[in-house]
């Protein structure tokens, strides 16, 4: 399957053609939106006719304020419904996660902390507790037992073998065990 490469002039021509078509489509879409906006405004917002007298103008303003109050009440009601629905959605999402049992535990990083810093973090900065663990340790003196000294002073190994060689050595070994 040998595909021929497109020349750069042909590629630029096709690219400019695509851009001009897209530009035309965007302009048409913008005109449609503007016409739709004008149509909606004509349906929902009748032309403003201001009365000539002050009494009529005050009545008009009172009516306008009443309409604004009604719209604000509707907006508040819808806003509270939306907030309630979002809270319900969050609660249900939490329940779904709990039922699935696939709660991902965050990876814990290893933190190097001294004992003093750990106690300060647990108890707060008000409590000054210093923990010197080595000061609480007991001092132990090492005593060397006499039995250990005898075991260490075995002596020359050749002499030990000569003592155990022959029948006398074996007899001594049995006598010392018994």
Q: What is the pLDDT of residue 28?
A: 96
Work out how many domains the chain is built from and give that number: 2
In a domain, 153, yes or no: no
Structure tokens at 41: 């405004």
Residue range of the domain that includes 75: 53-102
Reply yes or no on whether the pLDDT at 67 is more than 50.
yes
Domain presence at residue 62:
yes
**Predicted confidence (pLDDT) at residue 21 exceeds the cutoff of 50:** yes
If you average pLDDT over residues 26-34, what whole number do you get? 96
Across the range 79-84, mean pLDDT stands at 96
* Least confident range of 51-60, 84-93, 107-116, 158-167: 158-167
Whether 33 is covered by a domain: the verdict is: yes
Lookup result for tokens 């306008």: 64
Taking all residues of the chain, what is their mean pLDDT, rounded to a whole number? 80
Question: Does 3 have pLDDT greater than 80?
Answer: no
Residue range 30-45: average pLDDT?
A: 91
pLDDT at 1 over 60: no
- Give the pLDDT confidence score for residue 24 in this predicted structure: 96
Query: Looking at the domain assignment, is residue 38 inside a domain?
Result: yes
pLDDT digits (tens, 9 = 90+) for 110-169: 878 777 777 777 777 666 656 566 666 777 777 766 666 666 665 666 666 666 666 665
With 90 as the cut, is the pLDDT of residue 46 above it?
no
- Which of 63, 86, 102 is a domain's end point? 102
- Say yes or no: 57 and 42 in one domain: no
Question: In this structure, is residue 73 part of a structural domain?
Answer: yes
Burial string for 16-31 (b: 16+ CB within 10 Å, else e) reads eeeeeeeeeeeeeeee
The answer to whether residues 41 and 78 belong to one domain is: no
CB distance 123 to 129 below 8 Å? yes
The answer to the question of residue 19 being in a domain is yes
- Is 166 contained in some domain? no
Q: State the virtual CA torsion across 76, 78, 84, 90 in degrees, nearest 10.
A: -120
For residues 82 and 102, which has the higher predicted lDDT (pLDDT)? 82
Give the whole-angstrom CA distance, residue 36 versus residue 29: 11
d(CA 145, CA 153): 13
- Whether 128 is covered by a domain: the verdict is no
């Amino acid at each position: 399957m040998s595909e021929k490469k497109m020349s750069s002039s042909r590629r630029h021509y096709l690219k400019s053609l695509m851009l001009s078509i897209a530009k035309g489509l965007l302009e048409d879409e913008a005109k449609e939106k503007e016409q739709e906006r004008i149509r909606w405004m004509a349906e929902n917002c009748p032309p403003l006719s201001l009365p000539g007298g002050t009494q009529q103008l005050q009545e008009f303003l009172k009516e306008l304020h009443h309409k604004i109050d009604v719209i604000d009440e509707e907006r508040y009601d819808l806003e509270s419904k939306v907030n309630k629905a979002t809270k319900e959605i969050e609660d249900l999402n939490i329940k779904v996660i709990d039922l699935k049992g696939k709660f991902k535990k965050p990876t814990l990083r290893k933190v190097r902390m001294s004992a003093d810093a750990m106690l300060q973090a647990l108890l707060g900065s008000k409590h000054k507790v210093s923990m010197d663990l080595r000061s609480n340790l007991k001092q132990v003196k090492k005593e060397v037992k006499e039995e250990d000294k005898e075991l260490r002073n075995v002596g020359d190994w050749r002499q030990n073998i000569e003592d155990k060689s022959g029948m006398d050595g074996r007899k001594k070994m049995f006598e010392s065990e018994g």
